[in-house]
Structure 1
Amino acid sequence: MKQVLITGASGFVGRQIARSVQARGHRLTLVLRPGRFTDIGISDDQVRIIETDDLFAESTAWWLEALAGIDTVIHAAWSVVPGRYLDSLDNIDCLVGSLRLAEAARRNGVARFIGVGTCFEYRLPNERITVEAPLGPVTLYSTAKLGLYEQLEIRFKATATSFAWARLFYLFGEGEHPTRLFPTLHRKLSSGEPMQLSSGDKLRDFLDVREAGRMIASLVENGQEGPVNICSGQGVTLREVAETIADRYGRRDLLAFGSQPAHPRDPMAVVGISNLAST
Structure 2
Amino acid sequence: MIPALQARGFEVHALGRRPPAATVVFHPVDLLDAEAVQASVGRVGAVHLLHLAWYAEPGLYWRSPVNLDWVAASLALVRAFREGGGARAVVAGTCAEYAWGPERLSEDAHCVPATLYGAAKDATQRVLTAYARETGLSFAWGRLFFLYGPREKSGRLVSDAIRALSSGERFGTSPGHQRRDFSHVADVAGAFAALVDSAVEGAVNIGSGAAVPVRVILEQIGQLTGRPDLIDFGARRLAESEPASIEADVSRLREAVGFHPRYDLGSGLTDTFGAYSERQA
TM-score class, shorter-chain normalisation, is 0.7 to 0.9
Deviation at 1:205, TM superposition (A): 0.4
Alignment of 1:1-279 (within 5 A): 17-33=1-17, 36-37=18-19, 40-43=20-23, 47-52=24-29, 54-59=30-35, 62-63=37-38, 65-68=40-43, 69-274=45-250, 275-276=252-253, 277-278=257-258
Partner SS for 2:104: strand
Deviation at 1:217, TM superposition (A): 0.5
- Provide, for residues 194-238 of structure 1, a one-character-per-residue CA deviation record: whole Å limited to 9, x for no partner: 211111000000100110001100112211100010000011001
Deviation track 1:215-271 (CA, whole Å, cap 9, x = no partner) reads 100112211100010000011001101111101233222221111011344222100
Distance in 1 of aligned mates of 2:82 and 2:203:
19
Asked if the contact 2:95–2:145 (Cα under 8 Å) also holds between the matched residues in 1, the reply is yes
Residue identity opposite 1:135 in structure 2: C
CA distance in 2, matches of 1:226, 1:24: 21
Report the alpha carbon displacement of residue 62 of structure 1 after superposing the two structures with TM: 4.3
Q: What is the DSSP-based 3-state SS (H/G/I as helix, E as strand, rest coil) of the residue aligned with 1:156?
A: helix
Letter in 2 for 1:148: T
In the aligned structure 1, how far is the partner of 2:2 from the partner of 2:15? 11
CA RMSD of aligned residues (A): 1.6
Counterpart contact for 2:41–2:81, Cα < 8 Å: no
Unaligned runs of 5+ in 2: 260-281
Taking the aligned partners of 1:132 and 1:179, their CA distance within structure 2 comes to 31
Aligned partner of 1:130: which letter?
S
Q: Is the 8 A contact 1:109 1:160 kept in 2?
A: no
SS in structure 1 of the partner of residue 237 of structure 2:
coil
Provide, for residues 23-42 of structure 1, a one-character-per-residue CA deviation record: whole Å limited to 9, x for no partner.
Answer: 22211111021xx22xx332
The TM-score with structure 1 as length reference comes to 0.86
Cα distance in 2 for partners of 1:207, 1:105 equals 30
Shift of 1:189: 1.4
Deviation, structure 1 residue 81: 1.6
Match of 1:11 in 2: none
Closer/same/farther in 2, CA of residues 198 and 191 from structure 1, 3 Å limit: same
**TM-score, normalised with respect to structure 2:** 0.86
Superposed displacement of residue 172, structure 1:
0.1
Aligned partner of residue 201 in structure 1, secondary structure: coil
CA contact (8 A) 2:143 2:203 kept: yes
> What is the letter of the counterpart of residue 167 of structure 1?
R
Which whole-Å deviations, capped at 9, do the CAs of 1:40-86 have from their partners, x for residues lacking one? 3323xxx322112x211222x74155244210111101111222111
Distance in 2, matches of 1:226 and 1:258, equals: 40
1:12 matched residue in structure 2: none
Paired positions, count: 254
Query: How far, CA to CA, are the matches of 1:143 and 1:110 in structure 2?
Result: 27
In structure 1, what is the Cα distance between the partners aligned to 2:54 and 2:167?
33
Does the 8 Å contact 2:41/2:80 carry over to 1? Answer: no
Aligned residues of 1:127 and 1:272 also touching (Cα < 8 A): no
**Distance across 2 between alignment mates of 1:31 and 1:261:** 41
Distance 1:265 1:176, change over 3 A: farther
- What is the identity percentage for the equivalent residue pairs of Structure 1 and Structure 2? 35
Q: CA deviation at 1:175?
A: 2.2
